[in-house]
Amino acid sequence: MASPSVHTAMSAAVASQVFEGSALLRLRVKELEEQHLAFRNSLICAFNQLLDLKDISTGVHSTRLAEWAIRVARKLNIPEDRIYQVEVAALLHDVGKIGVPDAILKKQGPLTSEERAAINRHPEYSWSILRLFPGLEEASLYALHHHENFDGTGYPAGLKGHDIPIVSRIVSVIDAYDAMVSNRCYRKGLSHGEAIHRLLESTETQFDAEVVRTFIPIAEQEAADVFAAAGTSTSAVL
Ligand SMILES: [Fe+2]
């Protein structure tokens, strides 16, 4: 039988091996977590580029929306651990437009009811794509509801008021503002003042008034940059 001192030395050696083993394991888990996050971020960037290539949304547009969404979310006290989901929802809420035929998506002039129905399916397509990303289930729901209206007349679920996720309400406001001020090949973007006027006009019907009020100072602060990036004359600003 080993003496107590030998026994103590053996226990110390085993304890040291276990400690080293668990430290290595923790390091490996951390490495794998980092690899997983990097891979997920690469996929998000790849989808963003896909939208760019399909001419659905440009990199500048997406980045701007994501920055605004994060700033509005923080002002509305959305917890910091949900901000990543806010960013992804703002970046990729329209990813489902990939599933809408170009002939419909880029059609100029009035749409038939079937064509409108095809476009209106894009939030569900966005949801069905994003929910496949492990860890982005929350962002997929925000994308699903980004065309709901505050008065319940939106789609796909006809959700009303605060039943609409707050992040979807944020994306709805900033996306509408961005669409209004951006130039399209068939029309010139609206001035900042006119776009804000239209947002305010549609509070409680289409938009959440609190989100609009929170967004206005952010839009005003960056109006010059936005208009430069959107290609609208800065003389139209404010
Ligand atoms: Fe959309």
Pairwise CA distance, residues 118 & 97, whole Å: 10
Cβ–Cβ under 8 Å, residues 195 and 177: yes
Tokens of 218: 């952010």
Structure confidence by residue, pLDDT tens digits, 163-216: 999 999 999 999 999 989 887 766 778 888 999 999 999 998 999 999 999 999
Report, as ranges of residue numbers, the positions in the chain whose pLDDT lies below 70. Answer: 1-4, 6, 10, 57-60, 185-186, 223-238
Pairwise CA distance, residues 56 & 47, whole Å: 11
Cβ–Cβ under 8 Å, residues 95 and 123: no
Pairwise CA distance, residues 73 & 71, whole Å: 5
Pinpoint the alpha helices (H) of the chain.
Answer: 4-53, 59-75, 83-92, 102-105, 113-119, 122-130, 137-144, 166-181, 192-201, 209-221, 223-230
Amino acid letter, 89: A
Q: How far is the CA of 147 from the centre of ligand 1 (A)?
A: 6
Q: How far is the CA of 1 from the centre of ligand 1 (A)?
A: 76
Whole-model pTM over 0.95: no
Q: How far is the CA of 96 from the centre of ligand 1 (A)?
A: 8
Q: How far is the CA of 114 from the centre of ligand 1 (A)?
A: 17
Q: How far is the CA of 145 from the centre of ligand 1 (A)?
A: 9
Closest residue by Cα to residue 175 from 86, 90, 49: 90
